[in-house]
Structure 1
Amino acid sequence: MAGWNQGAALPLVLMVLLVLLDLQRVAGRSPHEMQKNITLAVILPQNNTNYPWAWPRVGPALERAVRTVNADASLLPDHVLIYRFNSSEDKAGVCSESLAALMAVDLKLMYNPWAFIGPGCSYTSSPVGLFTTHWDIPMVTAGASAVAFDGGIYPSITNTGPTHKKLGKFALRICEHFGWREHVMLIFSDKKDDDRPCYFASEGLQSELESINITVEERVFEEHILPVNYSNIILSIQNGGRGESPSTQT
């Protein structure tokens, strides 16, 4: 995401916004009941650009999309599209699930938005996704990539980014291509005080591989705790990934 392209992002954001507004009309709000201002609630990390969906990265595209919609009177006749932003960062700059949930409730009570943009992190998306489902309000995010979001308890969420379930399906195709049908070794770092991206990515792989009865072994290490003995990790891949049987493959 370092090379964020506003021009490339604008059509996707614009399309999603217009679809959301159309969905709300279908949901039961007649033209006579529509408010003058159509409000989008935005919950994203405000400053921490380590997150690809942080406000400094995606905010310009959202602002440009809003300007583009409002500049064309035929898109939302007699209405103005606006947004209200709240940060999901805690004092340390990390996505906070408790803070994101509070921000969602505040935005709902203060502005009664038509849709939510974000949160981005998996842990923050979970409670907000449950709220938006209860409120029957669409939620668009590019960060809720964990396998759990593929279930039926988050019907309000539209994910515009890649998911770990898709990653798992990609791994299955690789296994099918090379004829790897017995054994896989997963190695990943797990930093439990953040959004655990490696853990959730590995979960997507493991769940899909196990779905076709491939045996999966895992090895977890904490990369931020030094020293990390990478030689032992490589040895574990060699011994555990290939298994003891000559016919077993990784």
Structure 2
Amino acid sequence: MLTFLLLSLWTSCCAANDLTIMVLLPVTGDWPVGQSIAGAVPVAINDIVKRKDLLNGHSLNFVWNDTHCDPGTGLGEVVSLYLQLGAQLNAIIGGGCNQVCEVVGLLAAHWNVPMISWGCQSSQLGHKTEYPTFARTVGPLDKSAPIILSVLLHFNWRRVVILASSDTGWQLASEEIKVVLRCEMDEMLSWFL
């Protein structure tokens, strides 16, 4: 993921020798997944720095901020850093939480800064007119129904149970899965919850 981002940055910017990436992680708040994955950031940066063919004389720096999985906090962190760095902010990685990615993604587009997320699955982020600089390594939840249908058909499975959290994104995904399965497999399913 970082390699792709760096190659994109290399072709689009950087007369300066420093590349600065902001990493947004939810370390505290409703979904503190950042606590378990934050250690991967310096490892990835070190791996990239070791490869002489990627940076070509540039240095790579990162700054990380805790978004608390809150859009206001995430927005505040990004604006604060942008006020310090301005055009020296070369990319944003993260969000992790849909509500953070949605607001930060709009700012990234306005600033023409690439943003890549490892966890945001909101279908809103797929609107390229609003989020032209946004990319992600996971698909939107509302597009998971065809994948699940294919797996069920491939293995000839006839029983389905869907367990979903109360989070809006997961509820929308589970409803979409229900609709697709009822439409495509209604007579083949023996029960559905």
Question: What's the TM-score once normalised by structure 1's chain length?
Answer: 0.61
Task: State the SS of the aligned residue for 2:120.
Answer: coil
In structure 1, which of residues 135, 138, 141 is the aligned counterpart of residue 114 of structure 2? 138
- The sequence identity of aligned pairs, in percent, is 21
- Please state if 1:45 is matched with 2:26: yes
CA distance in 1, matches of 2:147, 2:170: 12
Structure 2 residue 12 is the aligned partner of structure 1 residue 36: no
Distance in 1 between the 2:98 and 2:36 partners? 18
Between 133-142 and 151-160, the greater mean CA deviation after superposition: 151-160
Spell out, residue by residue over 1:164-203, the C-alpha distance to the aligned partner (whole angstroms, 9 max, x if none).
13422223335656698xxx9977552xxxxx2xx31231
Residue aligned with 1:74, SS:
helix
1:15-164, aligned counterparts within 5 Å? 16-27=1-12, 29=13, 33-47=14-28, 50-52=31-33, 54=34, 56-89=35-68, 95-111=69-85, 112-152=88-128, 153-161=130-138, 163-164=140-141
Q: 1:173 aligns with which of 150, 155, 171?
A: 150
What is the DSSP-based 3-state SS (H/G/I as helix, E as strand, rest coil) of the residue aligned with 1:214? helix
CA distance in 1, matches of 2:142, 2:100: 19
CA drift of 1:212 comes to 8.6
Q: Which runs of 5+ in 1 are unaligned?
A: 1-15, 90-94, 191-195, 216-241
Aligned to 1:206: 175
Measure, in 2, the Cα distance between the counterparts of 1:65 and 1:73.
14
Q: Work out which of the two has the higher radius of gyration on C-alpha atoms and give 1 or 2.
A: 1
8 Å CA contact 1:142, 1:162 repeated in 2: no
Rounded to whole Å, the distance in 2 between the matches of 1:200 and 1:49 is 15
Contact 1:37–1:79 under 8 Å retained in 2: yes
- State the distance in 2 between where 1:156 and 1:100 align: 17
The structure-2 alpha-carbon separation of the partners of 1:48 and 1:57, relative to structure 1 and needing over 3 Å to count, comes to farther
TM-score by length of 2: 0.77
Cα deviation for residue 100 of structure 1 reads 0.5
Higher relative contact order (CA 8 A, sep 6+): 2
The answer to whether the 8 A contact 1:171-1:205 is kept is: no
One-letter amino acid matched to 2:10: R
Write 1 or 2 for the structure with the bigger share of helix. Answer: 2
**Distance in structure 2 (CA, Å) of the matches to 1:140 and 1:116:** 6
User: CA offset at residue 159 of structure 1?
Assistant: 1.6
Amino acid at match of 1:104: V
Q: 1:189 to 1:116 in 2, by over 3 A?
A: closer
Q: Structure 1: how far apart are the matches of 2:133 and 2:116? A: 8
Count matched residues.
185
CA, structure 1 residues 249+73, in 2 after alignment: closer, same or farther (shift >3 Å)? closer
- In structure 1, C-alpha distance between the alignment counterparts of 2:62 and 2:70, rounded to whole Å: 21
Computed over aligned residues only, the root mean square deviation of the Cα atoms, in angstroms, reads 3.3
